[in-house]
Amino acid sequence: MRRLLLCSLALLPLLSAAERPRRVVIVSWDGGADWVIDRMLGEGKLPNLARLAKRGVAAEHSSPAFPSKTAVSHYAIFSGASTEISGVTGNSVPILPRRDHTILESRSGFDANSHLAEPIWVTAAKAGKRVLTLSAAGSYPAQPDQERLRRARVPLDRWVGFSGFESSISGDFVLDGRKFRIRPMSETVTDHIVDFSVGDTKFEAVAVDADPTANERFEKVVIRRVGEAEPEAVLTPSEARSDLKGWSRGFRVQKGDLVGWTYFRLFSLDPKTGEMRLLVRAANGMRGTESSKVNAEYLQAYGGFHGNPFGTYERGELGEPLYRGGDGTAERRVVEQVRLDCEFLKRSFRYGLKRWNPDLVTHYTPQSDGAGHTWMGVLDTESPLHDPVLAARILPYYEEVFRLQDDWLGDMMDAAGAGTAFALVSDHGMAGIAKYFNVNQVLERAGLLVRTADGKIDLTRTKVCAPPWGDFFVIANTTDWKGGIVPLAERDSVIRSAQKALLEAVDPATGGRIVTRVWRPEEFVGLGIGGPAGGDLYLDVATGYYPSNRLSSDVTSPGSAIIGNGVHGFYPQLRKMQAIFYLGGPGVAQNKRIPGVRVIDIAPTICRLMGIPLPADSNGIVVGQALDR
């Protein structure tokens, strides 16, 4: 079968060098749901994506991997390999080999040490291309992929890669009177001062008292690094706006040997009391294939890594959200932070292009995913907590996140010029839910899972569980795992018992069944499930539920937010889970809609467009209809 496939690919005519793009850029919008983007495109709200589609192809959709999660689908995109081959079966994965680790041991699925398949940055470097991964889920740490290059006798400098996610210095936070002690400077100076740190770097923010006898005393806040002779930042309060003029300049911060940049934004200052709402933007360091000097130069040109405005928003630190009676102020503050994020992304891309002149570039934004997780519980019309009035008020802010990302896409297209091909991809869709389904509680009630006195999974008595690295599947505690108790010959009957219990599980509040479908990897081929890091029984659940591996004494638990949660992970062919694939530029068929693709088809198609061999472990196919002949 595999040989046949390779023969048929070999018959596809190749583009000549003159017809190929001089460079390919792969951009990922995390959580870019096809159903959302289709609608926005139709309404003319994504002009730069429309421009890209015109000079190329738009796939009806792109089917994610299963579970449809960030690490899983991104690695399927970059390696062209499905999860049973890549080993990336979740945002967490088991530690292999099985004989040396129990089913309870896990590590991040983003960690390159977990990856069993070759990513496209290695494929392209092996083919003599210069690759720049400005951001690519699964590219950190660099050592495992540099080892792949070394084994292929490829100079390591063909791949320049960066990642900031693993190098947090500080998360976003808001300085206000609720959490930080604000005190008068001294008995004679009535300025209000707050001391705080970003990583190891100490700051003070001073609300300057212009006139203690006046009614309106405070009109500005001065921020300085403690003990540094450098210009201070002077901020006057201003509400969220459609430019970036409210932001301070960048301040260099440190944590251990990590160096990053933070920014300040004064959204409000009470003129009578000096009470302030001062946002301190997250700071991350940058690491990857390069020296700390190059990392610092890149990060400085970039401006700063991603902030996470949805965290402060959900904690109420940006003001009352619309769903708690707010008037949209908090949402506008979120959008302004996404605007800054996209501005930094523009700078990073332009700098990377100029400095490294790469043949293949990857870049990424998490903001559309954050927005979906935060708001989709109420926006999705099928969500049990959908509220049409509230949804109509929140939708413009959700769409603005995509519109800003579209603006970033357009800036990159302009910077790169007509000779560059762009692929816009996403990793999964988004749907709204109201309740969690506690898979392990069902297994416990069926006597298949046993807990220790302190409530943990007892591996000496547990036959099957949803492990810490999985929630859309369960795994039998078989003897091929360290500490396993189920003989391999009995796995089938244990899994069938688990299947029966799960299919019969009902929500005590409604009496309705929760699990709608199950798949066993050996019965369902072509789904890309199972493998050494995969599960023994995969499941999907009814609309409104999300499976959880947490240990609970209840079969269901409420969602974490009062408006429900936006989630993904479900069976990849569900409409709401579908992702996107757009490809445009030289060598690509023009202005054409093509049928749906799978995430594993993207890397092979891009490699064919570049005229290089396909990724070594890919089981995807070249989408011939996307190419110019």
Eight-class DSSP state of 18: G
**Are residues 358 and 132 in contact, defined by beta-carbon separation less than 8 angstroms?**
yes
Beta pairing class for 360-365 and 23-29: parallel
Contact 295, 287 (CB under 8 A): yes
For residue 215, give the amino acid letter.
Answer: N
Q: Which window, 17-25, 120-128, 366-374, 478-486, contacts Zn ion (CB under 5 A)?
A: 366-374
3-state SS of the chain: helix, strand, coil percent to 5? 30, 25, 45
Phi, psi at 31, each rounded to 5°: 70, 20
ω into residue 64 within 30 of 0, thus cis? no
Residue 331 binding Zn ion, by CB under 5 A: no
Cα pseudo-dihedral 35, 406, 296, 72, rounded to 10: 10
In whole angstroms, the minimum distance from the beta carbon of 29 to Zn ion comes to 11
Give the range of 7-15, 153-161, 278-286, 364-372 binding Zn ion by CB under 5 A: 364-372
Which of 7-15, 365-373, 440-448, 523-531 is the region at the interface with Zn ion (rule: CB under 5 A)? 365-373
- What are the backbone dihedrals phi and psi of residue 389, each rounded to the nearest 5 degrees, phi first? -70, -50
Residue 625: alpha-carbon gap to chain centroid: 29
| Shortest distance, position 109 Cβ to Zn ion, whole Å | 13
Distance CA 351, CA 433 (A): 40
Least Å distance between CB 364 and Zn ion?
A: 13
Q: Which residue is nearest to Zn ion (CB)?
A: 369
Taking the complex as a whole, the smallest distance from the CB of residue 90 to Zn ion amounts, in Å, to 12
251 or 402: whose CB is closer to Zn ion?
402
Closer of 369 and 400 to Zn ion (Cβ): 369
* Residue 137 beta carbon to Zn ion: minimum distance, rounded to whole angstroms: 11
Between 221 and 431, CB nearer to Zn ion: 431
Could you tell me if 594 and 59 are in contact, meaning their C-beta atoms sit under 8 angstroms apart?
Answer: yes
- Annotate each residue in 180-199 with x if it binds Zn ion (CB under 5 A) or - if it does not, as one string: --------------------
Strands 431-433 and 545-548: unpaired
Q: Closest approach of Cβ 111 to Zn ion, in Å?
A: 18
**SS (HEC) of 404-463:** HHHHHHHHHHHHHCCCEEEEEECCCCCEEECEEEEHHHHHHHCCCCCECCCCCECCCCCC
Residue 312 vs 499, nearer CB to Zn ion: 312
- Based on CB atoms, which residue is closest to Zn ion, 111 or 617? 111
Minimum distance of Zn ion from residue 244's CB (angstroms): 26
- Residue 369 or 380 with smaller CB distance to Zn ion: 369
Question: Smallest distance, Å, CB 314 to Zn ion?
Answer: 14
* Comparison of 341 and 369: residue with beta carbon closer to Zn ion: 369
- As to burial, measured by CB atoms within 10 angstroms (0-12 exposed, 13-18 middle, 19+ buried), residue 293 is exposed
Task: Indicate the residue among 67 and 303 with the shorter CB distance to Zn ion.
Answer: 67
Cα Rg for the chain, rounded, in angstroms?
A: 26
- The footprint of Zn ion on residues 124-153 (CB under 5 A) is none
Instruction: Tell me the closest approach of the beta carbon of residue 470 to Zn ion, in angstroms.
Output: 16
Taking CA atoms, 528 is separated from 65, 279, 523, 531, in Å, by 7, 44, 12, 9
Total residue length of the chain: 629
Rounded to whole angstroms, the Cα distance separating 187 from 342 reads: 44
Least distance between Zn ion and beta carbon 284 (Å): 19
The strand pair at 431-433 and 62-63 is best described as unpaired
Q: Are 8 and 620 in contact (CB under 8 A)?
A: no
Cis check for the bond before 586: say yes or no (omega within 30 of 0): no
- Give whichever of 295 and 549 is closer to Zn ion, judged by the CB atom: 549
CB 579 within 8 A of CB 426: yes
CA 585 to chain centre: 26
**Structural contact between residues 157 and 355, judged by C-beta atoms closer than 8 angstroms:** no
Nearer to Zn ion, 278 or 567 (CB): 567
Residues 367-406 that bind Zn ion (CB under 5 A): 369
Query: Could you tell me the smallest distance in angstroms from the CB atom of residue 172 to Zn ion?
Result: 18
Q: How far is the CB of 162 from Zn ion (least distance, A)?
A: 21
Residue 579 CB, nearest distance to Zn ion (Å)? 12
The window from 40-48, 176-184, 363-371, 435-443 that contacts Zn ion (CB under 5 A) reads 363-371
The answer to whether the CB of 567 falls within 8 A of the CB of 384 is no
Judged by CB, which is closer to Zn ion: 365, or 420? 365
Nearer to Zn ion, 171 or 271 (CB): 171
Three-state secondary-structure class, residue 34? helix
Q: Considering CB under 5 A, how many residues would be counted as binding Zn ion?
A: 1
192-198 sheet: strands from edge to edge? 183-184, 192-198, 201-209, 218-225, 233-235
In the complex with Zn ion, the residue whose CB is nearer, 277 or 373, is 373
Contact residues for Zn ion, defined by CB under 5 A: 369
